[in-house]
Amino acid sequence: MAAILVVSSERYSGKSSITVGIAIELEERGFAVGYMKPVGSYPIRVKNERVDEDAYFVSEALGLKDQFADLSPYFLTWETLGRYMRKKPGEPQSKVLNSFKRLAEGRDLMLLEGAQNFVHGKILGLSSLEVSKLLDAKVLLLDTFNDELTVDRILSARDYFGDGFLGAVVNWVPERRMPFARNQLPRFLSEHGIKVIGSIQTDRVLRSISVNDLSAGLNGEIICASDKGEELIESMMVGAMGQEQALRLFRKQANKVVITGGDRSDIQMAALQTPTKCLILTGDHRPSPLVLGQAEEIGVPIIMVKYDTATSVEMVEAAIGHQKVHSPKKIERLRKFIREELDLDLMLEEVGLPPSSAV
């Protein structure tokens, strides 16, 4: 049985998404794949049990029947940090090792998801380095592409993890940088003994957010076309101009959310005449019956929020692009990139597994 720990140097890198995509591809090759996230950050309750949000998403996507307490044994949040500073909870490494052994039973490969960054979990003795050594897992770095930092981060990760470093996947690469990511970067890193498993280009759909998730993030209320809650939003526009100017601008952008004051019926109607996925009405103002009826008829959800427009814009900007790939549509799209861009045979070779379980 082999194990791979997927780590990143920053949040919102796509670890859960990549893990799911790789797992599904390997399962289609005949491998029995398990999963674990030793240190979670976003605990939720499911059937009166606590589980990390990402761990729950992965378990649902892969159809896992493992116990939540094994999938995500520890949570490191602001609340738990204070408790751990006062008293360390038992023997975290022993607990994680025992959970790992249960999860690994009957599996060919365990995919482990790292915490927010390399050092997160150190207070429990469960930093990425400590987890990789404890569970004898090879480390795969998922790096969000950065013009100035990607090369240095990959080199630093190799030095940090040493012989346990498997290689790197570079994520969210702008189209203009793909030739560099596919050619010059792998050649350079190869000279330093580092393998690049692949690079994935930035994709607007993968970085989009659903209407339902956006509404939840804004503590908003969807007041019409709620059946369109899984529609994906790729961009944002703010309606703070005249109606004619708004029409011209709104026509230039598809799959967008338009944010405007709840009392701006002219802007709202202009948005509904263009390819708009959702309206966000600020200031807790209910739209006119005309706007509400038109939106319901053409299937454009309206989200009412209590915040002012400036605050709403800041919140939406933070959400778009930092959204998790937690939808079947996104998973299928990600799998396409994994099949085309990642060298899974090389990854398997690095952990001592054949290209398929039948070999």
CATH code of residue 129: 3.40.50.300
Q: What is the pLDDT of residue 359?
A: 46
Listed in sequence order, the DSSP H helices in 218-308 are 243-250, 265-272, 289-298
Helix H or strand E encompassing 129: helix 128-134
* Residue position matching structure tokens 């330093």: 192
Q: At what angle do helices 15-28 and 328-341 cross, to 10 degrees?
A: 70
Q: What is the pLDDT of residues 281-339, one digit of tens each?
A: 999 888 999 999 999 999 999 999 999 988 988 888 777 655 566 667 778 888 899 99
Question: Which CATH number fits the domain that encloses residue 275?
Answer: 3.40.1390.20
pTM of the model as a whole:
0.79
Average pLDDT over residues 183-206: 92
Nearest to 315 by CA among 230, 238, 231: 238
CB 37 within 8 A of CB 51: no
CB 135 within 8 A of CB 97: yes
The total domain count for the chain is 2
Q: What is the pLDDT of residues 9-53, one digit of tens each?
A: 887 788 988 999 999 999 999 999 999 999 998 898 998 899 998
Within a domain: residue 303?
A: yes
CA distances (Å), 332 to each of 95, 250, 358, in order? 34, 29, 25
The one-letter code for the residue type at 239 is: G
Average pLDDT, the chain: 91
Average pLDDT over residues 211-226: 90
Return the higher-pLDDT residue of 71 and 315.
71
Within a domain: residue 355?
A: no
Within a domain: residue 356?
A: no
CB 153 within 8 A of CB 125: no
Host domain of residue 196: 2-203+325-350
Write the DSSP string, 100-111.
HHHHHTT-SEEE
